[in-house]
Amino acid sequence: MLFGAHVSAAGGISKAIDRIEEIGGNAVQVFTQSPRMWKPTQHAPEELERFRTRRRQARVRHVSCHALYLVNLANRDRAIRTKSFDALQATMETARAIEADAVVFHVGSHLGYGFDAAVKKVTPALRELLELTTDELWLCLENAAGAGGTIGRSVAELAALCDALDGHPRLGVCLDSCHWWASGVDVTDAATLEAALEDLDSRLGLERLRVLHVNDSKTPLGSNRDRHDVVAGGLLGDGLATFLGHPAFRDLPAVLETWPEDGLSSADIDLLRELHRRGRRRKRPS
């Protein structure tokens, strides 16, 4: 398993590699532009080249680019859908330029008009975006906590999107521990996690799993509320060891997205590694 975190790209996107190297990570996630503004960042060619060079030097084995939070490909407003597509396209193009491994995004919300209709609305845009993937770069759907009309609140919804896209070979999945918990899957219980992964394997295939987001939760199981907490500091607590220790995840990057108020440090990466070790020692359900 690889261990890393979402880090700032302030001062130039290549600074993300410097920051993850400082804390001992070998996986990293970045925004390629401000997550709360539509306007894409224009990265200088030399900055993109430095990112690639520094990645090799720092031995960072996985790079994810997270799309901005404003994206909603399912919005009925054509202007919002167009802005969402353009933002995702810009993220994909930057991801290709820095030789990233994944672009992670939320499809958005149907805002009440229905999941089936939303799938039909988002499929053409996703088909076009998948044309920008490569053998190395995958487009990854992130599971949602399930509030309102959010899309991807269950493995069944993720599978429906995959089926609508004819099982595209470079359509991946990013699993967020907090979101899965909030949507009703107790990732701290070995038997429940095993059953959930068997369901994912049967509907999508475990080979589509490309990234893990490791977050604790401030809200109860099944709350459908996306409220991250510091790893091992929330309601999942030490139970995150069960999640991190599952053998289905052993080759994946585990990316922190939440950390203490005093900032991210090597201790946070070390905690991920320790939880992983503990989880591997726990007995799996027979």
pLDDT per residue as tens digits for the range 183-219: 999 999 999 999 999 999 999 999 999 999 999 999 9
Q: Give the Cα separation of 227 and 219 in Å (integer).
A: 6
What domains are defined for the chain?
2-281 (3.20.20.150)
Q: Which of 150, 46, 39, 138 is nearest to 96 (CA)?
A: 138
Residues 167-183 pLDDT 10s: 999 999 999 999 999 99
What letter does residue 283 receive in the DSSP assignment? P
Q: Give the Cα separation of 225 and 195 in Å (integer).
A: 23
pLDDT for position 167 = 98
**Strands 228-229 and 216-217, bridge-based pairing:** antiparallel
Q: Give the Cα separation of 37 and 175 in Å (integer).
A: 25
The pTM of this model reads 0.96
Contact 186, 178 (CB under 8 A): no
SS (H, E, C) 54-94: HHHHHCCCEEEEECCCCCCCCCCCHHHHHHHHHHHHHHHHH
Residues 112-157 pLDDT 10s: 999 999 999 999 999 999 999 999 999 999 999 999 899 999 999 9
What letter does residue 237 receive in the DSSP assignment? G
* Residue percentage of the chain with pLDDT more than 70: 99
